[in-house]
């Protein structure tokens, strides 16, 4: 996916207009490219989830294969919870956790005041905790 963002820069579809730092602009291009990619992958993911659920229901599975779906279920729960966050909350969390940016840098990429980005960050984490719940009691 990163190569698609670089291709946009190289072929001129994304232009640096010096309204921000180069790093901020580049992360913006990457962010927009990732969103385009995510839209396409959404349908593919839903097909895989349905396939996995059908596989889980198959009575012919051995004991070794029964343990794996709990990991897949956890991933599915997390992905579902992430879709229930606001776009801004999900974007800020992605930039901070996966791109390893500071909240200030994430705010710059998203063209937000740092206080607003910090609020989205904190509210997003809190909402994920509520949506996922503490499952340690179930084990």
Q: Is 8 exposed, middle or buried (0-12, 13-18, 19+ CB in 10 A)?
A: middle
Between 42 and 129, name the one with better pLDDT: 129
Is the per-residue pLDDT at 118 higher than 90?
yes
What is d(CA 105, CA 112) in angstroms, rounded to the nearest whole number?
Answer: 10
* CB 82, CB 90: distance < 8 Å: yes
- Which residue from 99, 98, 88 is spatially nearest to 122, judged by alpha carbons? 88
| Helices 63-83 and 87-97, axial angle in degrees (round to 10) | 120
* Tokens at 115, concatenated: 């206080």
Q: What is the mean pLDDT of residues 4-12?
A: 79
Between 126 and 47, name the one with better pLDDT: 126
Between 123 and 75, name the one with better pLDDT: 123
**In b/e form, how buried is each residue of 68-95, taking b as 16+ CB within 10 angstroms?**
ebeeeeeebeeeebbeebeebbbbbbbb
- Mind listing the pLDDT tens digit for each residue in 14-58? 888 888 888 888 888 888 888 777 766 664 666 556 655 665 555
- Predicted confidence at residue 41, as pLDDT, reads 67
- Which residue from 30, 36, 40, 42 is spatially nearest to 94, judged by alpha carbons? 30
| Structural domains of the chain, with CATH | 2-133 (1.10.10.10)
- Mind listing the pLDDT tens digit for each residue in 74-99? 778 888 888 899 989 988 988 888 77
Q: Does the pTM exceed 0.75?
A: no
């Amino acid at each position: 996916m990163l190569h698609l963002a670089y291709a946009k820069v190289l072929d001129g579809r994304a232009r640096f207009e010096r309204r921000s730092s180069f790093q901020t602009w580049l992360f913006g291009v990457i962010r927009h490219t990732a969103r385009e990619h995510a839209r396409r992958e959404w349908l593919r993911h839903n097909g895989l989830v349905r396939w996995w659920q059908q596989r889980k229901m198959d009575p012919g599975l051995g004991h070794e294969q029964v343990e794996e779906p709990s990991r897949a279920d956890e991933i599915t729960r997390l992905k579902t919870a992430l879709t229930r966050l606001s776009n801004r909350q999900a974007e800020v969390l992605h930039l901070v956790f996966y791109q390893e940016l500071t909240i200030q840098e994430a705010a710059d990429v998203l063209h937000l005041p740092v206080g607003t980005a910090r609020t989205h960050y904190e509210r997003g984490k809190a909402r994920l905790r509520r949506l996922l719940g503490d499952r340690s009691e179930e084990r």
